[in-house]
């Protein structure tokens, strides 16, 4: 694209130089003024048309270049917008993940507390049952009468 722009600018410069060369003749040592032909229009009209074409080409290249720049700006802006949206989505996902992790930890903690409470209650029941069994072991039915014999030391 830069090469096209450079070529179009060069063409304008060359055509302008040709117009000046046509209008201005070489100075000689005896010439006192710039010589301009009487018939300017027929001499310069084709060159002026060429210059207009060169300017049109240059402007088209500039417009294409400007449109490419506008497209680049649009693409960059859309990428910035997309990046910002993705950042917001990532932040929401991370927040949701942390919330789920927090809820999972709370649930695990409650589950562990419940298990500990059940284990403690089970230990208490076993301790009570063990005490009851110790009391029952003291009352042994020695003669098979169905009536336990009281412990002998009391």
Q: Is residue 142 part of a domain?
A: no
pLDDT number for residue 31: 46
Cα Rg of the chain (Å, integer): 53
pLDDT tens-digit series, residues 55-96: 888 888 888 888 888 888 889 999 999 999 999 999 999 999
Q: Is residue 144 part of a domain?
A: no
pLDDT number for residue 26: 47
Of 37, 39, 41, 42, the residue nearest 23 (C-alpha): 37
Average pLDDT over the chain reads 79
Q: Is residue 122 part of a domain?
A: yes
Q: Is residue 153 part of a domain?
A: no
pLDDT number for residue 137: 57
Q: Is residue 62 part of a domain?
A: yes
Q: Is residue 79 part of a domain?
A: yes
How far is residue 127's CA from residue 123's CA, in Å, rounded to a whole number? 6
pLDDT tens-digit series, residues 100-139: 999 999 999 999 999 999 999 999 988 888 877 766 555 5
pLDDT tens-digit series, residues 20-66: 766 665 444 454 555 555 555 666 677 778 888 888 888 888 888 88
pLDDT number for residue 123: 92
How far is residue 104's CA from residue 129's CA, in Å, rounded to a whole number? 37
pTM of the full structure = 0.43
pLDDT number for residue 111: 95
How many domains does one find in the chain?
1
Of 48, 39, 42, the residue nearest 20 (C-alpha): 48
DSSP 85-124: HHHHHHHHHHHHHHHHHHHHHHHHHHHHHHHHHHHHHHHH
Q: Is residue 149 part of a domain?
A: no
How far is residue 56's CA from residue 142's CA, in Å, rounded to a whole number? 128
pLDDT number for residue 146: 63
In order of 11, 64, 71, 149, the CA distances from 6 in angstroms are 9, 14, 21, 123
pLDDT number for residue 27: 45
Q: Is residue 143 part of a domain?
A: no
Domain range spanning residue 74? 2-137
Which residue's entry shows tokens 């009352």? 139
């Amino acid at each position: 694209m830069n090469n096209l722009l450079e070529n179009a600018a060069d063409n304008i410069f060359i055509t302008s130089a040709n117009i000046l060369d046509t209008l201005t003749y070489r100075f000689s040592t005896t010439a006192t003024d710039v010589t301009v032909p009487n018939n300017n229009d027929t001499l310069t009209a084709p060159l002026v048309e060429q210059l207009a074409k060169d300017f049109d080409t240059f402007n088209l290249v500039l417009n294409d270049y400007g449109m490419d720049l506008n497209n680049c700006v649009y693409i960059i802006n859309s990428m910035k917008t997309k990046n910002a949206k993705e950042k917001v989505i990532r932040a929401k996902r991370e927040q949701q993940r942390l919330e789920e992790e927090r809820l999972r930890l709370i649930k695990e903690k409650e589950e562990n507390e419940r298990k500990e409470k059940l284990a403690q209650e089970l230990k208490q029941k076993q301790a009570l049952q063990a005490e009851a069994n110790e009391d029952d072991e003291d009352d042994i039915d020695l003669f098979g009468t169905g009536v336990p014999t009281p412990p002998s030391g009391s």
